Amino acid sequence: LDKQRQQNIDRIAGLAGATGGAEAKGSAQRSSGPSAGYAGKVRAAVKPNIVFTEDIDGNPKAEIEVRTTLDGSIISQRVVKSSGNKAWDEAAIKAVIRTGTLPRDIDGRVPTPMILEIRPRD
């Protein structure tokens, strides 16, 4: 009985100190960051929805925060860092709105919130 009790204490202590790292032992959840190819999936979903015909100097980056539901439906978007070009910022926001739903990652989830970096020449 004492041996079983000690095993249970060790198991609970292991769960309490779980790191979630890839090398972790046990049933603790692994790190939940997006997969390496997820940014490409999101870029492929948003890029066709960009409508921008103005000439622009350089390749300014608009940073857009996007929040989604569990199935990837976009529920909000906002500029968190302007590109310095109001027209490009608006085009980036409208592209996200037109996208409507972000793809799921390989684990079936959609990370939320996330910051999308959108440039006119990418």
Beta-carbon contacts of residue 96 (< 8 Å; ≥ 6 apart)? 46, 49, 64, 66, 74, 77, 116
Residue range 30-49: mean pLDDT, rounded: 80
Condensed to tens digits (0 to 9), the pLDDT of residues 4-21 reads: 888 887 777 666 655 555
Condensed to tens digits (0 to 9), the pLDDT of residues 43-66 reads: 999 999 999 888 888 889 999 999
Q: Is the confidence at residue 86, as pLDDT, over 50?
A: yes
- Token pair recorded at residue 18: 């779980």
pLDDT interval class at 91 (50, 70, 90): very high
Mean pLDDT for all residues in the chain? 82
pTM: 0.69
SS3 85: coil
Q: What percent of the chain has pLDDT over 70?
A: 83
H helices present in the chain, as ranges: 2-16, 38-46, 86-99
